[in-house]
Amino acid sequence: MKKEKKVFDQNTADRVPDRNQMLIVQLLFREKPETPDPKALQAELEKHLGKVENIVPDKPDMPMFSVPKYVAKFKDAPEGIPVLADYLAPCEFDPANIDDFTRSQFWDVQDGKELIDECKYMVGVFSMYGAVLPHKQQAELILAQVDAALKCYPTCDAIYLTTSGKLTTPEQFEECKQFDLAGRYIRLCVNARFFTINGSDDMIVDTLGFYVFGGADVQVHFRGMNPNHVVNYVYNIASYQFENDFPIVSGDTVDSIGEDGSMQWKPQWKAQYEDSLIQPIRTVLDVNCGQYAAGSRD
């Protein structure tokens, strides 16, 4: 991981909303893709989700599938209603809307800035009502939607998450099928970011993405450690949190990082929830990494 030399001013007014967010995946293309037959998209979805129904058959370029497997419950609909798996029609994509701050964190794709600049079209993938589902159901649904879309849009060049700034490729999505649900979701939707603090030896690694379903991201403020080791570490802590329904509470201790980058039982590092140091401001699980810790903590 190379250090990004460009200096950014922190925007403390950039705070995430105090509610769950709609998770939107953008499939990006260099050339405008052809719109697939909705029946083909439905068949791919049903491989993962069971029976679904296209409730707008008169709009073949913007199919919307009712998914009885997942039920969203509301105050005025306590019995619940099926969530809707939505796909937008191909439209123009302007890479100039992706700011330099976000572009500085394209760690997962070599030449990611160049790739996203080459993309001129986009297909949006999201779920209506999905934001109220438990986080694992949200993960299952969006992974199924993206998998179905990639089968029906074979010319897709990149996958971009507006909520985390995560840029990946269809090939990486396919490779991630070997992992469990947490691993696949995090590799698609959660971005581990790396920053150096101007004028000091301090570094920060954090994850961005869990806030969309009300979960806490992970943050380590440190000096004197290999940042690549810390990136792997925050992904491991994030995976544990996701898989176990966020069991860590402030004051708990977690495993530390060994000299080789592996997680080790001793020493234990103390964790607490606090506002993030890096925008967007949101709740994070901050890990106090002992002798390597930077900054001050209350």
Same domain membership, residue 177 and residue 30: yes
Using the 3D structure, point to which of 154, 174, 189 is the last residue of a domain.
189
Burial of 236 (0-12, 13-18, 19+ CB in 10 A): middle
13 within domain boundaries: no
Residue with the two structure tokens 């490779």:
175
Same domain membership, residue 209 and residue 224: yes
15 within domain boundaries: no
Same domain membership, residue 141 and residue 99: yes
- CA nearest neighbour of 251 among 192, 202, 298, 208: 298
Same domain membership, residue 147 and residue 78: yes
Task: Show Cβ contacts of residue 240 under 8 Å, excluding neighbours closer than 6 positions.
Answer: none
Same domain membership, residue 40 and residue 137: yes
Same domain membership, residue 170 and residue 265: no
Using the 3D structure, point to which of 140, 160, 189 is the last residue of a domain.
189
Per-residue pLDDT of the chain (298 residues; tens, 9 = 90+): 554 467 666 676 778 887 888 999 999 999 999 999 999 999 999 999 999 999 999 999 999 999 999 999 998 888 899 999 999 999 999 999 999 999 999 999 999 999 999 999 999 999 999 999 999 999 999 999 999 999 999 999 999 999 999 999 999 999 999 999 999 999 999 999 999 988 789 999 999 999 999 999 999 999 999 999 999 999 999 999 999 999 999 999 999 999 999 999 999 999 999 999 999 999 999 999 999 999 776 5
Same domain membership, residue 180 and residue 260: no
Task: Show Cβ contacts of residue 37 under 8 Å, excluding neighbours closer than 6 positions.
Answer: 60
Same domain membership, residue 89 and residue 52: yes
Same domain membership, residue 196 and residue 184: no
Quick one: which H or E segment has residue 39? helix 38-49
Using the 3D structure, point to which of 139, 156, 189 is the last residue of a domain.
189
Same domain membership, residue 213 and residue 166: no
The domain in which residue 58 lies consists of 25-189
297 within domain boundaries: no
249 within domain boundaries: yes
Same domain membership, residue 82 and residue 143: yes
Burial of 282 (0-12, 13-18, 19+ CB in 10 A): buried
Burial of 285 (0-12, 13-18, 19+ CB in 10 A): buried
18 within domain boundaries: no
- Please count the structural domains in the chain: 2
pLDDT at site 131: 94
164 within domain boundaries: yes
Same domain membership, residue 169 and residue 54: yes
Say if pTM beats, i.e. exceeds, 0.85.
yes
